């Protein structure tokens, strides 16, 4: 792929997803675009670019392959410790309705971890109180959303999970001869999956949300995009609610609307 073609793809991907691919990512772009060329049977980059101008479906398939979806259960556990503590406090103060948003949920490990953490946090009072808990989990990629909705993970992915948690919240299933773990229906029912692009102008969520997790996605965006997104998120967080970012992400220019509580955790001002 020559430089000019590389930048054409960079521009398309940036415009539609906010993902800002920098010089040095030529091989990555080439490999990911190649997947779509194979799938469509188009052999020429420019012909493909003309094709996606007319075919919106294919444009979103390109965006889908451009995403990086790395995730795992209990990723960055300090954030989940924080959530557990906050939710216990809120419940002790009488709160029964909780709303969460996993804003780049990838293959589901993040929202399912959240569901497990909430279930564990409220274990002692779970059956006594009538909790109304909902987690909205969204991503731009149809491929990961499909996997997330299935809620089934190969044994390999579960090796590091605490055995007690694993036995309590998953059941063992056989998927074409492969041993997998499926999240229990009780936790699955807490989550609603939707396709959502963080670049959209309106965040059509029925706020207010207690905690928004927007983790390890803004590392792919540039500063103006990050700033726009965290400001839009601010609008749907309840007062004194929290925004949780990834460990490698910090807010630098939003001190007027968020207060840092601990690394990667921000309270809405």
Ligand X SMILES: C[S@@+](CC[C@H](N)C(=O)[O-])C[C@H]1O[C@@H](n2cnc3c(N)ncnc32)[C@H](O)[C@@H]1O
Which residues are near ligand X by CB under 6 A? 17-19, 67-71, 75, 104, 106, 110, 139-141, 144, 197-199, 215-217, 220, 246
CA 139, 144, 149, 153: dihedral to nearest 10 degrees?
-130
Residue in 173, 149, 140 with CA at minimum distance from that of residue 59: 140
What Cα–Cα distance (Å) separates residue 120 from each residue in 22, 32, 165, 187? 41, 39, 9, 11
Residue 48 to residue 58: CA distance in whole angstroms: 9
Q: How far is the CB of 9 from ligand X (least distance, A)?
A: 15
- Residue with Cβ nearer ligand X (30 or 68): 68
Q: How far is the CB of 72 from ligand X (least distance, A)?
A: 7
- Residue with Cβ nearer ligand X (70 or 128): 70
- Residue with Cβ nearer ligand X (68 or 95): 68
Q: How far is the CB of 219 from ligand X (least distance, A)?
A: 8
Cα four-point dihedral sign 92, 169, 190, 218: positive
H helical segments located in the chain: 3-17, 26-40, 45-54, 56-66, 77-92, 109-121, 142-150, 163-169, 185-188, 223-234
- Residue with Cβ nearer ligand X (144 or 236): 144
Residue in 13, 73, 253, 251 with CA at minimum distance from that of residue 261: 251
- Residue with Cβ nearer ligand X (20 or 165): 20
Residues in the chain: 269
Which residues share a beta bridge with 242? 211, 267
Q: How far is the CB of 21 from ligand X (least distance, A)?
A: 12
Q: How far is the CB of 214 from ligand X (least distance, A)?
A: 8
- Residue with Cβ nearer ligand X (37 or 65): 65
Q: How far is the CB of 147 from ligand X (least distance, A)?
A: 10
């Amino acid at each position: 792929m020559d430089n000019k073609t590389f930048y054409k793809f960079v521009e398309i991907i940036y415009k539609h997803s906010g993902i800002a691919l920098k010089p040095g990512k030529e091989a990555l772009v080439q490999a990911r675009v190649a997947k779509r060329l194979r799938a469509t049977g188009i052999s020429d980059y420019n012909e493909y670019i003309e094709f996606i101008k007319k075919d919106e479906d294919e444009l979103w398939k390109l965006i889908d392959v451009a995403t990086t979806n790395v995730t795992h259960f209990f990723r960055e556990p300090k954030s989940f410790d924080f959530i557990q503590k906050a939710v216990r406090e809120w419940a002790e103060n009488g709160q029964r309705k909780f709303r969460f948003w996993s804003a780049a949920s990838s293959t589901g490990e993040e929202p399912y971890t959240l569901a497990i953490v909430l279930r564990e946090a409220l274990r002692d009072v779970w059956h006594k109180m009538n909790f109304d808990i909902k987690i909205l989990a969204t991503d731009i990629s149809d491929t990961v959303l499909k996997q997330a909705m299935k809620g089934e993970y190969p044994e390999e992915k579960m090796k590091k999970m605490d055995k007690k948690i694993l036995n309590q919240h998953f059941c063992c299933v056989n998927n074409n001869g492969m041993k997998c773990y499926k999240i229990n229906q009780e936790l699955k029912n807490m989550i609603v999956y939707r396709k959502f692009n963080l670049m959209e102008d309106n965040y059509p969520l029925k706020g207010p949300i207690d905690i928004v997790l927007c983790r390890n996605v803004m590392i792919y965006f540039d500063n103006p995009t990050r700033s726009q997104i965290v400001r839009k998120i601010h609008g749907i967080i309840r007062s004194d609610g929290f925004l949780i970012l990834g460990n490698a992400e910090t807010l630098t220019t939003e001190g007027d609307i968020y207060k840092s509580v601990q690394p990667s955790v921000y309270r809405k001002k």
